[in-house]
Amino acid sequence: MRTLSHVFSWVFLPLFMPAYGLLISLYYPSEELVYSAMSMFNLPNDVKTQLFWVFFIFSCAAPGISFVMLHQRKIISTIDMENAGERNIPLLIMFAYCALMFGLFLYKAPNGLLPKYFYALPLAGAIVTIFFIFINRWIKISMHAGGGGILCGYLVAFFMTQAQVPVLLIALAILVSGLTISARLYLKKHEPIEVYAGWLLAFAITFSCNWFYPS
Please compute the mean of the pLDDT values over residues 151-180 and round it to a whole number. Answer: 95
**Measured distance CA(202)–CA(197) in Å, rounded:** 8
Cβ-contact 162, 55 below 8 angstroms:
no
> Which residues, 6+ apart, have CB-to-CB distance to 213 below 8 Å?
116, 117, 119, 120, 123
> Which residues, 6+ apart, have CB-to-CB distance to 188 below 8 Å?
none
Q: Which helix (H) or strand (E) is 54 found in, with range?
A: helix 45-56
Residue 6, pLDDT score:
79
Total count of domains within the chain: 1
- Residue 208 lies in domain: 2-28+39-212
CA dihedral 116, 181, 97, 91 (to 10 degrees): 140
CB atoms within 10 A of CB 150: 29
| Burial of residue 186 (number of CB atoms within 10 Å: 0-12, 13-18, 19+) | middle
| Burial of residue 141 (number of CB atoms within 10 Å: 0-12, 13-18, 19+) | buried
The Cα-based distances of 132 to 87, 121, 150 in angstroms read: 9, 16, 13
**Is the residue at 133 inside a domain?**
yes
Of residues 208 and 37, which shows the higher confidence score? 208
C-alpha R_g of the chain: 17
DSSP 112: T
Residue 81, pLDDT score:
73
Q: pTM score, two decimals?
A: 0.94
> Which residues, 6+ apart, have CB-to-CB distance to 37 below 8 Å?
115, 161, 215
**Is the residue at 123 inside a domain?**
yes
**Is the residue at 33 inside a domain?**
no
Nearest CA to 150 out of 129, 135, 133 is that of: 129
Reported confidence tier of residue 38, pLDDT bands at 50, 70, 90: confident
**Is the residue at 9 inside a domain?**
yes
**Measured distance CA(34)–CA(193) in Å, rounded:** 39
Whether the predicted pLDDT of 36 surpasses 80: no
Chain-wide mean pLDDT for the chain? Answer: 92
**Is the residue at 178 inside a domain?**
yes
Residue 191, pLDDT score:
92
**Is the residue at 34 inside a domain?**
no
**Is the residue at 108 inside a domain?**
yes
**Is the residue at 114 inside a domain?**
yes
